[in-house]
Structure 1
Amino acid sequence: MRQLGELEAEIMDRLWAWGRSATAREVRDDLNRKRPIAYSTVKTVADILFTKGLLSREKYGRAWAYLPTCSRQQYTAARMQHALEGNPDPAGVLLSFVEQISADEVRALRAALRSAKRPGGS
């Protein structure tokens, strides 16, 4: 799974934060608080995210309302999995990652490993 472009990330961030579906107009209105952006641009990028499978959509009057198909955590986990799959030394990648994260993140990782449900009970 490839990294999101700048506008793709901004759209996904809003939809993840809102926790509800929203139209391209609503997203555009929120983005316009920081910088001007055209409705057609937001609509095009939302349609691209739909085509990529990151958003679902349903008709809301004459417009489409978009909703993420996965959580931010699921998206990030898929990116991490993709990075591991593409490397001949996944253990080395994981070691390098753990060496770079904070003590709080190490504690969170340990807690996640303890609570992870693995197939076969291991």
Structure 2
Amino acid sequence: MEAQVLAALHEASGPATAAWVQERLGGDLAYTTVMTILSRLHAKQAVTRERSGRAYVWTPAADEAGLAALRMRRVLDGEPDRDAVLTSFVSALSAHDEQVLRALLDRATADDPATADGPVTADGPAPAGGSAAESGTDRRR
């Protein structure tokens, strides 16, 4: 149901009321159910809300890609061994996805003055005299 509500909000030309979302979904859900879903999405930071008179108007917090990234971060944040989860995730990437990820990490590293001097390890910049790959902790794989 959350996905349907988000899809409806993405179709809106601007901020939308809960009543508009309910109508857009065909009226099959009760108004209170739509409000509950919107409130839960707000708690998850997937939507923003703003007062408009006595009601709220709702807006998606990000585009579809941003919302997927938010869900991925929440999953990662909920795991006790982040390194193991990231390792498993990266090792299952397709060749194309791996190239995209490498390019993004390289760009982020080049843009970050704190890491511009050398490779990054899971614990921060690699120690002088050894590469992150040699230490076995290269986040970029």
Alignment equivalent of 2:25, drawn from 28, 31, 46? 31
1:88 is the counterpart of 2:81: yes
Alignment-derived partner of residue 77 in structure 1? 69
| Deviation at residue 87 of structure 1 after TM alignment | 3.0
Question: Equivalent residue of 1:96, what SS?
Answer: helix
Q: Which residue of 83, 104, 113 corresponds with 2:105?
A: 113
Larger Rg over CA atoms: 2
Q: Could you say what secondary structure the match of 2:81 adopts?
A: coil
Q: In the aligned structure 2, how far is the partner of 1:113 from the partner of 1:17? A: 32
Higher helix share: 1
Q: TM-score, structure 1 length as denominator?
A: 0.64
Runs of 4+ in 1 over 6 A off after TM superposition: none
Offset at residue 53 of structure 1 (A): 4.1
Task: Report the equivalent of 1:103.
Answer: 95
State the shift of 1:12 in Å.
Answer: 2.5
Moved more, 20-29 or 80-89: 80-89
When normalised by structure 2's length, the TM-score is 0.58
Distance 1:70 1:19, change over 3 A: farther
Greater shift, 109-118 or 74-83, is seen at: 74-83
How far did 1:89 drift? 5.4
1:10 to 4, 24, 28: 4
Deviates more, 1:100-109 or 1:65-74: 65-74
Structure 1 residue 64 and structure 2 residue 61: aligned? no
Identical columns (%): 34
- Runs (5+) with no aligned partner, structure 1: 1-6
Which structure has more relative contact order (CA 8 Å, sep 6+)? It is 1
**Corresponding residue number in structure 1 for 2:132:** none
CA distance in 1 between counterparts of 2:44 and 2:81 reads: 27
Distance in 2 between residues matched to 1:60 and 1:82, nearest whole Å: 30
